[in-house]
């Protein structure tokens, strides 16, 4: 990510005009239309730092507009980026949030919107990505959450939404992925959860089961069933790594373990006509 200290004098003046307008919820459309493609890319992948009592934020102008709830600025940035052919660049730039409790979030603008439950902007970003044929790429970019540099989550937007329990976002991602023909890639992507001496390389359905999010499990199973890839979703292999070895498991096997003490898993399976017996028979944990 670029720092505004790296900008030319002209770029710096434009940058602070944009920042001030976004902060004060004014339009930036005319400013963006007047800049070159190169300056546009530099300016909207530059960052602004805001310190508060809860820690520090290092945000792109797009994420600043999301934070301020400035609809016009969000739409203007995305539209100008699309017209200049740099939409993917804008949507994959990192934002960093540091909290005083020792946690640090490194997020794309989509991840930032998910983190703050900004449904309007989640949908706007997903729609733009879908319209421009880059939805799969945007849904593959990882968001990173660290706690005291001891625990670390590296998650796709879908799994980050699962982590946050944002079921509206989960459904939006799944629906758009299905409509764009990339659902299988999304459901078989790998996320990483690291604890001291233990690492999970885990798929979204397994992660939802691990988190005990019944509504999310149900949404994934229904979308997978509608796309004839239920078996693929359940048999996608996740891995647990230990200092001196590891083991693999699929969602069938994890569901067997979790289902012993979690009636909600049975409910989700029943919704797609999968019995607990079927789950057990298709796992290695018989």
The DSSP code sequence of 30-64 is: HHHHHS-HHHHHHHHHS-EEEEETTEEEEE-HHHH
For residue 127, the tally of other CB atoms under 10 A from its CB is 14
The pLDDT value recorded for residue 70 is 94
Pairing mode of beta strands 103-107, 55-59: unpaired
Percent of the chain having pLDDT more than 70? 84
Tokens 């023909």 correspond to what residue? 181
Q: What percent of the chain has pLDDT over 90?
A: 55
Tell me how far apart the alpha carbons of residues 65 and 101 are, in angstroms, rounded to a whole number.
25
What's the mean pLDDT in 4-23? 86
Those residues whose C-beta lies under 8 Å from the C-beta of residue 222, and which sit 6 or more positions away, are: 271, 272
The pLDDT of residue 59 is above 70: yes
Reported confidence tier of residue 118, pLDDT bands at 50, 70, 90: very high
Please report the pLDDT score of residue 264 as a whole number: 54
Which two three-digit tokens encode residue 79?
A: 């539209």
Instruction: For residue 241, give both structure tokens.
Output: 């790594």
Tell whether the model's pLDDT for residue 75 goes beyond 90: yes
285: pLDDT strictly greater than 90: no
Beta-sheet pairing, 55-59 with 95-99: antiparallel
pLDDT digit string (tens) for 186-229? 999 999 999 999 999 999 998 998 888 888 888 998 898 888 88
3-class DSSP assignment, residue 95: strand
The residue among 231 and 144 whose pLDDT is bigger is 144
């Amino acid at each position: 990510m670029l720092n505004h200290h790296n900008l030319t004098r002209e770029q710096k003046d434009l940058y602070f005009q944009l920042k001030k307008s976004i902060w004060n919820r004014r339009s930036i459309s005319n400013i963006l239309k007047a800049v070159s493609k190169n300056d546009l890319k530099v300016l909207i992948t530059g960052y602004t730092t805001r310190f508060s009592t809860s820690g520090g934020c290092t945000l792109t102008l797009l994420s600043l507009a999301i934070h301020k709830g400035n609809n016009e600025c969000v739409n203007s940035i995305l539209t100008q980026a699309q017209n200049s052919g740099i939409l993917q660049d804008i949507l994959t730039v990192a934002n960093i949030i540091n909290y005083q409790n020792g946690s640090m979030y490194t997020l794309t603008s989509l991840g930032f919107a998910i983190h703050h439950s900004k449904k309007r902007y989640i949908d706007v970003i997903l729609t733009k990505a879908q319209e421009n044929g880059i939805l799969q790429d945007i849904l593959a970019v990882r968001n990173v959450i660290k706690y005291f540099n001891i625990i670390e989550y590296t998650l796709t937007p879908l799994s980050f939404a699962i982590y946050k329990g944002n079921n509206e976002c989960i459904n939006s991602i799944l629906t758009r992925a299905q409509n764009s023909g990339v659902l299988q890639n999304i459901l078989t992507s790998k996320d990483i959860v690291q604890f001291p001496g233990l690492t999970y390389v885990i798929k979204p359905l397994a992660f939802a089961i691990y988190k005990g999010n019944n509504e999310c499990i149900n949404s994934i199973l229904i979308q997978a069933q509608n796309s004839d890839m239920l078996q693929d979703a359940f048999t996608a292999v996740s891995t647990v790594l230990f200092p001196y070895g590891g083991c693999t498991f699929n969602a069938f096997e994890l569901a067997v373990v979790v289902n012993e003490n979690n009636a909600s898993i049975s409910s989700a399976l029943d919704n797609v006509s999968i019995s607990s017996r079927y789950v057990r028979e298709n796992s290695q944990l018989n």
